[in-house]
Amino acid sequence: MDAIESKHLTKYYGKIRGVEDVSLTVEQGAFFGFIGPNGAGKSTTIRTLLGLIGPTAGEARVLGLDIRRDREKLLARTGYLPSEAAFWPGMRVRDVLRLSADLRRKDCRKTAGELCDRLQLDASRKVEELSLGNRKKAAIVCALQHDPELLILDEPTSGLDPLMQREFFDILRERNRAGTTVFLSSHILPEVQHNCTRAAILRSGRVVACGSVEELSRTGAKRIALRGRAPLDALEGVRDLRVTAEEASFLYSGEMAPLLSALAAGDVRDLSISDPDLDEIFLHYYAEGGAQG
């Protein structure tokens, strides 16, 4: 059974596209990254999976349960961290956590206490007095305190300082090792690259790539950086070219032989050829999609 399985999931808001034909498979136990810039449809996908909005077409199962028919059952086993957590003014963090636990008919006080300690969140504070980061922490505890089988996190680190981000990802990795599936939506690529094993890239409402993070990084393109000069104008497959008087750097996805002869023809004093990082891959998918679209 897969943790998340969507088939041709499509959502239109009237005539405006939310997502189109999203087919995803997230295996149980995966640490899955869902990457895309703002407005690509990440939140729309997540909200559809959670039953907040109804799909226009297509279907999806979460933990083997149909998103329309078994909404409550799947929500009972899922923890959700919204990108912008909102609480009722006047409530204390403790009350919010208690309300969330009561709605799940579970006593989560022990786990909640541990999470608050680790995230340094004062549960006696009123929610409207909390900073953005602390509000996020309260939402994190809500999403985690009932030990869900699946965690769906929408832009989880916005507002958290770097130390807290590290603690948060430590917690996520511990949970993941213990068997929890983590579905992490983000536009911050290093976050996905460091933590996720698999990822999908969403662009303008469509999945443009899906695979292991390693595979996605291995697109055949290489990052070439050289010191000196080389005649690059005639080369095919050069992108993102940056040239200064002394240095040149570019992404290369063409044949190796012409590259080597171009480099040999020039005056190259130093050379590095490396796999591009996910940031560059991301740009690659976007640039390509842009050219097609």
Residues 27-66 that bind another protein (CB under 8 A): 47, 50-54
**Identity (one letter) of the amino acid at 207?**
V
Nearest distance, CB of residue 5 and another protein, angstroms: 19
Q: Which two tokens stand for residue 170?
A: 């430590």
Check residue 230 for interaction with another protein (CB under 8 A): no
Which region, judged by CB under 8 A, interacts with another protein, from 24-32, 85-93, 198-206, 232-240?
A: 85-93
Q: How many CA atoms lie within 13 A of 145 on its CB side?
A: 31
Local structure of 213: helix, strand or coil: helix
Write each residue from 199 to 218 as x if it is in contact with another protein (CB under 8 A), else as -, in one continuous string. --------------------
Of 87, 61, 86, the residue nearest 73 (C-alpha): 61
Write each residue from 87 to 126 as x if it is in contact with another protein (CB under 8 A), else as -, in one continuous string. xx-x--------xx-xxx----------------------
Local structure of 89: helix, strand or coil: coil
Q: Give the integer Cα–Cα distance in Å for 176 and 146.
A: 15
Check residue 169 for interaction with another protein (CB under 8 A): no
Adjacent-strand bridge partners of 209: 201
Q: Which two tokens stand for residue 141?
A: 């505890």
Check residue 85 for interaction with another protein (CB under 8 A): yes
Q: CB nearer to another protein: give 103 or 260.
A: 103
Torsion on CA atoms 50, 175, 28, 208, rounded to nearest 10: 70
The count of chain residues that interact with another protein, using the rule CB under 8 A, is 27
Residues that bind another protein (CB under 8 A): 13, 47, 50-54, 71-73, 75-76, 78, 80, 82, 84-88, 90, 99-100, 102-104, 142
